[in-house]
A and B are shown apart, each in its own frame.
Chain A
């Protein structure tokens, strides 16, 4: 494994406001992974990305991208990265294709190679049929996708995506998440920021949780959830005419079941591994003649991790 990004004790203080937006943050991003920075608004995600894009110089510390220091070799860093900014940064009066050609030239591309890449990324983000339309006529979701396409044009070694799903409909959001996964399957390394726990959960190989400028936790999702000691949740939905209490009582004796609680026509079990616990639970239900209509398995959530570490919900 090679680290493509190495962040070393990075701090950024905004002056003259004197806001410490990033506070002594260190992490690495490995080639080929999706690394998420998860944190509420104002946590310092965009500021971190701005420093890694050489838009802001760090107040302390340094970061290396593809082996180049963001402080000393900004041009080499910029050549290695593709940036998808949080705010859509496109020209509304230009068409999708014209935007891509313009931005491609800013990456030093040109000629046939550029027009071939423009076609490719248009295909990739599903905008090939709207290539000639002006961006001003696009929906929010389409603009978001084109915003991403610009960051992919020059085949960067890593692409930064800063909250790329903010303010769009669920369908477009689905599109973008699938696109990110597809990109990653093709080998792209992704730095993804979000304040949606579900997105970080779905996409990330590893997650850094940020709050108030600090990186408060870092690791794979398994590592993070283990940190809280959280287990999986099994939720049994019973038929309308069923009372949960007798089954719940019986389940308390089943090995591997840690906690049992009941709600209307529902039994919630806390277990270390849902796969192991499910067969004996179903057997017990059959023995007692209780009809189980459906079962939900909830993985331990990043939300819970954040709650555990900060005492606050992620979205407050």
Chain B
């Protein structure tokens, strides 16, 4: 047993010293959780992970709408997330971004308001609506802070899409009113402004970044909580990469000559392989643990009760390790194991719904995907985040353990056939 643990510990230490492995194990899933959650859900969830993002807002627009966008950034809801500096000095704002003092600078052009409510409307000319000037709000992003800059860009995007939807609505409404004779052309300006303003104000008032607790309290099913879904989902996706990489080292050690050398020591084949299996398992477990703890405390994601998350994770890593062993037993070379591991990890992720809500997948895919540990793991975590306890996840736990058992047996059969 001491020798098994010696091999396992060696593998754990080796993996955690490999910068590439660390990126794949920890940095990539963490970053992707943020990116995916933000891309789809506008980052709900709040919490202490991202806060005080330094942003410069340069407002060249003297009209109403520039002000609304500026106010959006200064709204109390975003006060924790953003640290906003409003300035008229565009060059200074850009310099701050270049000097890595800010995540992004938002430059509101002088013609923003004009592009939404054209000045021609003031002289009672409704056709002015048709040839509004084009306005471009620039987000000057800091490439060193892609996630923070992405959040700023997302806030601007949401504001603009709401305003242009509102403005388009306003345009149609005003034209229709004029055509139907209900509105005198002279009144078009006031009316148009009113409708546009309402849309813009709505954009300001709508919570772009809602605090998770509040959203949930209002209506649990009203909005899908992407962050809570993506945090375990990305961890599971990258767990498969980690364990298949661990399986690959079995073949790599053969190439390095360390596996034969291990077998010249008074150590049985069973102990050597057992050590490798434990190493894969412990590495996967460490990765899941770190990612779950990180998303809990840095992103505020609540994964569910500890007493249920732990057994789910233990069973999940066991099943994933089973796949890694089958892979290592089946592959002939380390390179082949690497390729097969990547394909398997991505295929499992796609099939099980690691990239989008599993609930949205067609019934048959959800059924087929039960051959993946990912699917069972996602189901279990979804149940737990929806308020489930250990009793609710017994089925996935048993499913995962059964999968692990079958795969361990399959792997040892293939191993025996190959090394006989």
Q: Which residues of A contact B (CB under 8 A)?
A: 50, 53-55, 75, 78-79, 81, 83, 85, 87-91, 93-94, 98, 102-103, 105-108, 110, 150
Contacts and interface: CB of A to CB of B under 8 A. Distances in A.
B265 A107 contact: yes
Nearest to A103: B265
A90 B256 CA distance: 8
A85 B261 contact: yes
Nearest to A101: B6
Interface string B1-26: 01100110010011001100000000
A54 B264 CA distance: 7
Given A81-B264, A87-B257, A93 B6 contact: no
A89 B256 contact: yes
A104 to B, nearest CB: 9
A91 B7 CA distance: 12
Contact of A106 (B3, B13, B256): B3
A106 B258 contact: no
A55 to B, nearest CB: 6
A11 to B, nearest CB: 20
A105 to B, nearest CB: 4
B261 A102 contact: no
A234 to B, nearest CB: 45
21 contacts: A55-B263, A78-B265, A78-B267, A83-B264, A85-B260, A85-B261, A89-B258, A90-B258, A93-B13, A94-B10, A94-B13, A94-B14, A102-B6, A103-B261, A105-B3, A105-B6, A106-B3, A106-B7, A106-B262, A106-B267, A107-B265
B124 to A, nearest CB: 76
A223 B260 CA distance: 36
B362 interface: no
Given A89-B256, A105-B2, 10 more contacts: A54-B263, A78-B264, A79-B266, A85-B261, A87-B257, A91-B10, A93-B13, A103-B261, A107-B265, A108-B3
A102 B14 CA distance: 12
B228 to A, nearest CB: 36
A55 B17 CA distance: 30
A108 B266 contact: yes
Contact of A93 (B17, B257, B266, B267): B17
Nearest to A52: B264
Nearest to A50: B260
Nearest to B15: A93
Contacts of B18: 93
Contacts of A103: 261, 265
Which DSSP category, helix, strand, loop or mixed, fits chain B's interface? Answer: helix
B257 A75 contact: no
Given A88-B257, A102-B6, A110-B2, A55 B264 contact: yes
A102 B10 contact: yes
Interface in B229-266: 256-258, 260-266
Contacts of A75: 266, 268
A173 B245 CA distance: 37
Contacts of A98: 13
Contacts of B266: 75, 78-79, 106-108
B270 to A, nearest CB: 12
Contacts of A81: 264
A275 B71 CA distance: 105
B241 to A, nearest CB: 19
B125 to A, nearest CB: 73
Contacts of A108: 3, 266
Nearest to A54: B264
Contacts of A91: 10, 14, 258
A89 B267 contact: no
A91 B263 CA distance: 15
A65 B267 CA distance: 17
A103 B263 CA distance: 11
Contacts of B6: 102, 105-106
B266 to A, nearest CB: 4
A107 B17 CA distance: 25
Contacts of A94: 10, 13-14
Contacts of B257: 85, 87-89
Contacts of A83: 261, 264
A92 to B, nearest CB: 9
Contacts of A79: 266
Contacts of B10: 91, 94, 102
Nearest to A108: B266
A93 B261 contact: no
A70 to B, nearest CB: 11
A78 B271 CA distance: 15
A103 B258 CA distance: 10
A68 to B, nearest CB: 11
A123 to B, nearest CB: 22
Nearest to B263: A55
Contacts of B268: 75
B252 to A, nearest CB: 11
A91 B262 CA distance: 12
A110 B5 CA distance: 13
Nearest to A134: B17
A265 B99 CA distance: 77
Nearest to A53: B264
Nearest to B267: A106
Nearest to A75: B266
A167 B261 CA distance: 20
Contacts of B14: 91, 93-94
A91 B6 CA distance: 14
Nearest to B10: A102
A284 B269 CA distance: 70
A65 B156 CA distance: 77
B417 to A, nearest CB: 14
Nearest to A98: B13
Contacts of A107: 265-266
A94 B12 CA distance: 11
A91 B10 CA distance: 9
A107 B267 CA distance: 8
Contacts of A102: 6, 10
B2 A89 contact: no
Contacts of B17: 93
A213 to B, nearest CB: 20
